[in-house]
Amino acid sequence: MKKILVITAVACLMMACGGNKNQKEMNNISNKEKAVALLKAIETGDNASIAYVNAESYKQHNLTVADGLDGFGAALAGLADFPEKARVNTVRAFEDGDYVVCQTDYNFYGPKAGFDIFRFEDGKIIEHWDNLMVYNGEKNPSGHTPFDGTTEVKDLDKTEANKALVRNFVQDVLMGQHPENLTNYFDGNTYIQHNTAIADGLDGLGAALAAMAEQGIKMEYFTIHKILGCGNFVLAVSEGRFADQPTSYYDLFRVENGKIAEHWDVMETIAPESDWKHQNGKFNF
């Protein structure tokens, strides 16, 4: 059964060039819906949504997947040999300009938590970035998963202010430029944490920092590559090192009344250059 689904998915890639969705239908569907549908196709093998990808130009930034639509097809084809069925449940998705951000509960070569970013041009996806981590289903010390929590998008008029707040927070606190400003970013100890190892609150953060220091693990943020947001949700894409490994950080924050209220994240060790399937880079927004 699984094999058939994957074959269907690959077949649909071949058909995608033909563009079996008419232009009118394409225009009525939002970029967000297209991105979510494309991801869901990994699970269902639904060939129709492949049409949302620009087949001539699809720039891949997942370093271990080959460039172009055929690279995506090859990644899907590999699923046939994987013993677990693919599962794709996108739990949050938002648009910011030409970009769509999706946060997804995956089984894609094993259970994973992931963020995907798609860039659209003329209604079609032309570029893709992602960050994936293995997630075994355990709850964190405060009982949260990397997916649960608030999903309601609001404060659409505050998108820019919230993006600026998150950019400053990453610079001041995560990049360590002005740690003394930490408490300005929070409403007291209120901070719902979805990181798999950290408990809620600044006290949870403090315990995690102490544990890392004790083990000699450094979490370093060097560069912010992209800030994308929609109302109360803001995603920061950053690069740094975690435990001396080059690391890509995707941090999603929920902002409430000008304070950071909730956090989800995915950290991925950046694959060594010898494993790269293309030279598009992990970031290059």
Partner 1 sequence: MSTQKHIPVIKFHKDKYGDELLIDVVTLDMIRASKDFAKALRQSFYGVMLTTGGEGDVEVDGEPCTATKGLVAFARPGDVGTVTNDRNLTALELIFERDFILSFFNDPHFLDGLSYFSTSRPSPYVMLNEALYNRIIGLYVEIQLEVANARDRHLLRAMLYETLMLLQKASPVSGRKRESSETRVARFCELVNEYFLTETGVEFYAERLCITPNYLNRIVRQTLGQSTKGYIQSRRIEEARQLLRYTSLPVSDIADRLGFDTPTYFGRAFAQATGTTPLQFRSCPEK
> In what order do the strands lie in the sheet containing 219-230?
192-193, 259-269, 245-256, 233-242, 219-230
Tokens of 11: 């077949």
Contact 116, 226 (CB under 8 A): no
Residue 217 Cα to chain centre, angstroms: 24
Please identify, using beta-carbon distances, which residue of 50 and 174 lies nearer to partner 1.
Answer: 174
Task: Please report whether residue 210 would count as binding partner 1 according to CB under 8 A.
Answer: yes
Instruction: Pick the piece of the chain touching partner 1 (CB under 8 A) from 63-71, 127-135, 205-213, 242-250.
Output: 205-213
Task: Please report whether residue 139 would count as binding partner 1 according to CB under 8 A.
Answer: no
Instruction: Tell me, by CB under 8 A, how many residues bind partner 1.
Output: 22
Contacts of the segment 132-136: beta carbons below 8 A, 24+ positions apart: 132/106, 132/108, 132/266, 132/268, 133/266, 133/267, 133/268, 134/110, 135/105, 135/111, 135/196, 136/111
Among 154, 211, 223, 245, binds partner 1 (CB under 8 A): 211
Residue 19 Cα to chain centre, angstroms: 27
Q: Which residues in the 150-179 window bind partner 1 by CB under 8 A?
A: 173, 176, 179
Task: Please report whether residue 137 would count as binding partner 1 according to CB under 8 A.
Answer: no
Contact 102, 39 (CB under 8 A): yes
Contact 103, 115 (CB under 8 A): yes
Instruction: Pick the piece of the chain touching partner 1 (CB under 8 A) from 8-16, 42-50, 115-123, 209-217.
Output: 209-217
Among 213, 243, 244, 272, binds partner 1 (CB under 8 A): 213
Q: Report the nearest approach of partner 1 to the CB of residue 211 (Å).
A: 6
Task: Please report whether residue 189 would count as binding partner 1 according to CB under 8 A.
Answer: yes
Contact residues for partner 1, defined by CB under 8 A: 173, 176, 179-180, 182-183, 186, 188-189, 201-203, 205-207, 209-211, 213-214, 218-219
